[in-house]
Amino acid sequence: MYPIMLKIEQKRVLIVGGGKVATQKIDKLLEQNANVCVVSPTITDTLHNYVLNGQIQWINRTFKQEDTKDAFLVIAATNNRSVNELVKKSCSEGQLINVVDAPETSDFYNMAVVERGELKIAISTEGASPTLARKIKRDLIEVFDDGYEDYLRFLLKARKKIKETVHDEERKNYLLNEIMYDFYRKNEVERERFLENIN
């Protein structure tokens, strides 16, 4: 498997199925502002609220092969293996498909992810043990606490200012390495002082 992160903002994503698994997938897709369409005769209360709020489109019926047309990404998330297989067969070459009950036939699958602002750590066991992936995620959450979100904002700002302001390559490299110390991650006052003193 080739690990990537996809930009799916405003991309059409088709979800076939309206149960718990589909809801979990859609929660993540909405965080990335995907254009989500659900095909299912029934949906969860959460998905129904998304429909009422205009966050997703709902086609209230069983799947038809033409439903996959124009979808950038397709997720077959029903509890019926034959329907999921039909969804896969209906996809054209170039469309990305995930079959939730058959990861071995899928083009991609979702990974456990730890997010701290701009920091994203994805964990995959390539289907060998989702339980282990969840355990590793819990362990990483303890290591990478909420403070990393502010620290990443500081790193972005500092890096930009260093690149624009400092022309001596040796000093530039020194400063870029300096901000890696926990001293700055844990101390907001020192971060501000560092930014002020860049020259």
Examine the pLDDT at 170 and tell me if it is beyond 90.
yes
pLDDT greater at residue 118 or residue 165 = 165
pLDDT tier, 18 (very low <50, low <70, confident <90, very high otherwise):
very high
- Where are the domains positioned within the chain? 1-110, 147-196
pLDDT on residue 127:
73
Fold of 1-110: Rossmann fold (3.40.50)
C-alpha pair distances (Å), 183 with each of 51, 72, 147, 160, 187: 47, 44, 12, 20, 6
Other Cβ atoms closer than 10 A to 183: 12
Task: Name the residue among 58, 43, 31 with its Cα closest to residue 115.
Answer: 31
Residues 6+ apart with CB under 8 A from 182: none
Q: What share of the chain is helix, strand, coil (3-state, %, to 5)?
A: 45, 15, 40
Specify the pLDDT at position 177. Answer: 95
Residue 166: pLDDT band (50, 70, 90) is very high
Query: What's the rounded Cα separation, in Å, for the pair 62 and 60?
Result: 7
Q: Global pTM?
A: 0.78
